[in-house]
Structure 1
Amino acid sequence: MNYRINCIFCFLLIVVTGCKKLIDVPGPENLTESTDVFKSDASAVSAVTGIYSKAMSSAVSFLNGGITIYTGLSADELIQNETNSTVQEFFINSLQPSNSLLRKDLWVRAYDLIYQTNACIEGLKSSKSLTEATRNQLLGESYFLRAFLYFYMVNLFGDLPLIITTDYTTNATLPRTNATIVRSRIKADLINALNLLIPSYPSPDRARANKWTVSAMLAKVYLYDDNWQEVESAASAVINSGSYSLEKDLTHVFLYTSNESIFQMMPVAQGYNTTEGNQFIPSRTFAVPAYSLSNYLLGVFEPGDKRVINWIGSQSAGGVLYSFPYKYKLKADFSASFVLREYYVVLRLAEQYLIRAEARANLGNLPGAIQDLDTVRYRAGLSLIDSSINKTDLLVAIQKERQTELFTEWGNRWFDLKRTKQADLVLKNRKLGWNATDTLYPIPGAERLLNPNLTQNDGYN
């Protein structure tokens, strides 16, 4: 298994070059030993913020548009309009273990980042020279990032190697760990982070994790476990913190100044705002979008929904009208006038309301669930929910609202179909060649050649 182990600490420092707005400290120079990296607060900050920077350093990769695009194709959100057979495998649910994007953009990229978080956790825990506040902040961020990475990996692949050290000799031959154990580690890391972090953000623009970032992620993790009481508690902590508010203007939600953002990632490549904006917005007038929205998704929106006119773009090409995701408004701009205006939104307040609504409904608090659901619907310009609605219909309404509010965001539709056990029922009638085993992606074949202890998911060779 390829975990990119060479010169990890040099690499951590190199990737932060040019990200002064994110880290607000100069990057240390000529430090190659792990003991040197974690001797000073400044160099330790550079090492941890290097993880964020690396995650955003290449187009369409694990944490930089890849999860949204590939799972949007696998579900019923996106249609691929370009003739790229490697991408097409995601769309027609015929992923091959040999798929280069599956390995490069998802598996390898994720484990690269996991290895970096492990290196930082080890270095921070062993350091005796950092100030307590800096050590706690950086260790909390590292625990959060590792949990965040594993959350998406386990939901994409199921059982997978649980690597929590930098012992590459052992890691290279680790078998897959049961997904239940991986999920337990995710929760343990998030609880560690929650105990270490404070409400204040350590950098401008909410581009690094704070206490509420972790609470928001915990709410999502508990949601996937149907742990309704913990979901309600974690989401309420964020909502009641007073730190966030829904943007009344939908065009402001995905700007880097949005007060709705709980956690967002700063683009680092010169000339780029978000990868998703660059991928989804057509390259020129009358050009066919690389990806368009499916009729299944478009048909879910109610008449008068403000999200349609604000978050969905349209373009005619060859006599066909295409609709495309337009939450992010900016493509790459390499002119001298380039200004970074959009960050990549990861966690936002509207999702927390919907998460809490689902928890409250399952706990029998229907009025509270309706209130949370109506908070999101009111912003979208929609009528409020009938207060006499029963629990079953309310849960259906919540899932529908998740589909329209969170479309093409971080694989929410794909994962919602799976966690509610609706994937096979819905997609077998919508996707050509669908099989029930398609809910998990295959383990990359090249990784299995490197590590013979890796087994394959059902339905794949």
Structure 2
Amino acid sequence: MKNFKRIISFKFTLVLGFLFLFQSCSDFLEQEPGTQTSITEQLKNKQGILQAMKGLYGELEAVVRTEPFAVYADLQGGNLKFTPSLSTGSSKSRITIPANITGIYAFDDRSDDSDLVSFYGNCYDVINQTNLLLEFTDALPDATAAEKNQIKAEALTIRAYTHFLLIELFSQNYDFSADASHLGIVYNKASINEKLTYPTRETVANTYTFIVEDITTAINLYSDKALLDGPLYSYFNKTSAKALLSRVYLAKKDYKNAYDTANDIIVNSGISLVSSDNYIAQWEQPDLPVSEILLEFSIPKSDEGTTSGSMSTFYGYISDASYGGYAASLDLVNLYESTDIRKQLFLEKSIPTIVNLQPVDLKYNFTKKFQNNPGYVAFRLSEQYLIRAEAALGLDNPEQARTDINTIRARAKASLLTNNSNIADALFLERRKELCFEGHLFFDIARNKKDVSRNDGCISLLCSLAYPSPKFILPIPLRNLNLNSNLKQNESY
């Protein structure tokens, strides 16, 4: 059997795989009285803890690479369209909606059959594992104080990050209500190793407070020495934790802290933007991320170098007989100027497509960001410039905002902004162009209180969505509601 690195089949993860929060955990705890001993045995020393951490990163990578989540923000916002079906028979060359995203694509996901039910449960499983690490680490007999702090720092950051993913999907944007008193999510700070609890959803304000507390605590615990083997960019460190924090601050429109945190990364991280000359080549290189990456959840590989899946599953192009299910919409492609080198990141291919019952060669633009064996891009430096720009606008400093936008545009060889007219819209579009397919657009739309407008390639009955709407968020899965009577469903579901 192949020995996959960072695979999530460690004993720790196998045990915890049944402990999805508010799902099957109560039955499992009743049926398996030896579970607690197994967990205690796994986490009794540093080796067991580090093995569990690698399994935790493996599960987190699998969570963010699930199709409904990996394509969610760009599909909902209008950056993506579907490619013709590769299947044989009557559906060959036809445009169809993948079965596992039909609900979210129509802005009408169902609580009793949610496309994100596994994502929801798996996120809370990841969170439960971070809590177990936090609860066992201080008692390690063979770890130094610095090593214990590093373990806790990474666990706290993963806990915060996973809660942030959940609140973006299942709660309205921060200032949807004046005091952010609308429903957030359950924020889980303790494991269910000993007993099962049935908490309520926090307010959005409280949820963000807890997220910020976890990250800031973690930042003060990080050391300069990584504990896990493999590429350093595959694991959280102090810089990528700060990148998460700046994104969180921006989401809650805490512009001063968002500005200061992004600025700290830009000035002090030692990481530089990819140059214009290398921009395309670095995205095209196999296996490795671009040099400005702050965190990539790298895909597991066997000892022989093979992979079990990657982002190219959705976006890749090998031949007309082998390609991913998603291509860039012209809504996105047409935003780029002719001189913009980012247009070179689209691989244009003509593929037979059934139109009016006849096959017609239509052009599809596949992104070069996710060819070969790419991992999930969590954070990179370009986003920090655009966060600093948006925060500067919020602080009434349009000159700084224009400077940061022009830094990204100059690298892309696009025309520079010469004045501050409509600068907020220019910034929104710059984020759309620079960060496409990296999971931002739909959340940018909600944060800026814009309407969704999907045109090219939209085959939903609902191609637009006016803000505000209860359909900007997803339903809490019914099976979780049934297991926890204290959970409250989102409006309209």
Question: What residue in structure 2 maps to residue 101 of structure 1?
Answer: 115
Q: Distance in 2 between matches of 1:316 and 1:128?
A: 61
Runs of 4+ in structure 1 over 6 Å off: 427-431
Is the contact made by 1:160 and 1:179 (CA closer than 8 Å) also made in structure 2?
yes
**1:314 counterpart = 2:349:** yes
Map Cα deviations across residues 378-397 of structure 1 (whole Å, 9 max, x no partner): 121112210x324xx11211
Q: Distance in 2 between matches of 1:160 and 1:428?
A: 32
**1:389 counterpart = 2:453:** no
Classify the secondary structure of the residue corresponding to 1:327.
Answer: helix
Select 2:490's aligned residue among 437, 457, 461. Answer: 457
- Deviation of 1:375 after TM superposition, in Å, equals 1.5
Letter matched to residue 362 of structure 2: V
In the superposition, relative to structure 1, how do residues 180 and 233 fare at CA in structure 2: closer, same or farther (>3 Å)? same
Is the contact made by 1:62 and 1:109 (CA closer than 8 Å) also made in structure 2?
no
Select 2:49's aligned residue among 40, 44, 47. Answer: 44
Classify the secondary structure of the residue corresponding to 1:264.
Answer: strand
Question: What residue in structure 2 maps to residue 10 of structure 1?
Answer: 11
State the percentage of identical aligned residues: 25
**1:206 counterpart = 2:233:** yes
Question: What residue in structure 1 maps to residue 436 of structure 2?
Answer: 407
Is the contact made by 2:346 and 2:367 (CA closer than 8 Å) also made in structure 1?
yes
How many residue pairs match? The answer is 419
Select 1:252's aligned residue among 282, 293, 311. Answer: 282
Question: What residue in structure 2 maps to residue 268 of structure 1?
Answer: 300
Q: How is 1:307-456 mapped onto 2 (pairs within 5 angstroms)? A: 307-318=342-353, 319-330=361-372, 342-386=374-418, 388-390=419-421, 393-410=422-439, 412-423=440-451, 426=453, 432-433=461-462, 436-456=469-489
Greater CA drift, 139-148 or 62-71: 62-71
Q: Distance in 1 between matches of 2:130 and 2:347?
A: 36
Pairwise CA RMSD: 2.8
Q: What residue ranges of structure 1 are gaps of 5+ in the alignment? A: 1-7, 16-30, 332-341
Question: What residue in structure 2 maps to residue 153 of structure 1?
Answer: 166
Q: What residue ranges of structure 2 are gaps of 5+ in the alignment? A: 1-8, 17-35, 83-94, 172-183, 354-360
Q: How is 1:22-61 mapped onto 2 (pairs within 5 angstroms)? A: 33-56=38-61, 58=62, 61=63
Question: What residue in structure 2 maps to residue 77 of structure 1?
Answer: 79
Greater CA drift, 426-435 or 76-85: 426-435
Q: Distance in 2 between matches of 1:407 and 1:307?
A: 11
Greater CA drift, 292-301 or 45-54: 292-301
- Deviation of 1:344 after TM superposition, in Å, equals 2.6
**1:162 counterpart = 2:187:** yes
In the superposition, relative to structure 1, how do residues 254 and 364 fare at CA in structure 2: closer, same or farther (>3 Å)? farther
Classify the secondary structure of the residue corresponding to 1:175.
Answer: coil
Classify the secondary structure of the residue corresponding to 1:317.
Answer: strand
- Deviation of 1:311 after TM superposition, in Å, equals 4.5
Q: How is 1:286-325 mapped onto 2 (pairs within 5 angstroms)? A: 289-318=324-353, 319-325=361-367
Structure-2-length-normalised TM-score: 0.78
- Deviation of 1:175 after TM superposition, in Å, equals 2.4
Is the contact made by 1:9 and 1:33 (CA closer than 8 Å) also made in structure 2?
no
Q: How is 1:195-234 mapped onto 2 (pairs within 5 angstroms)? A: 195-199=220-224, 201-202=226-227, 203=229, 204-234=231-261
Greater CA drift, 257-266 or 279-288: 279-288
Q: Distance in 2 between matches of 1:457 and 1:226?
A: 23
- Deviation of 1:295 after TM superposition, in Å, equals 2.5
Classify the secondary structure of the residue corresponding to 1:244.
Answer: coil
Q: Distance in 1 between matches of 2:70 and 2:377?
A: 12
Classify the secondary structure of the residue corresponding to 1:456.
Answer: coil
**1:281 counterpart = 2:295:** no
Classify the secondary structure of the residue corresponding to 1:240.
Answer: helix
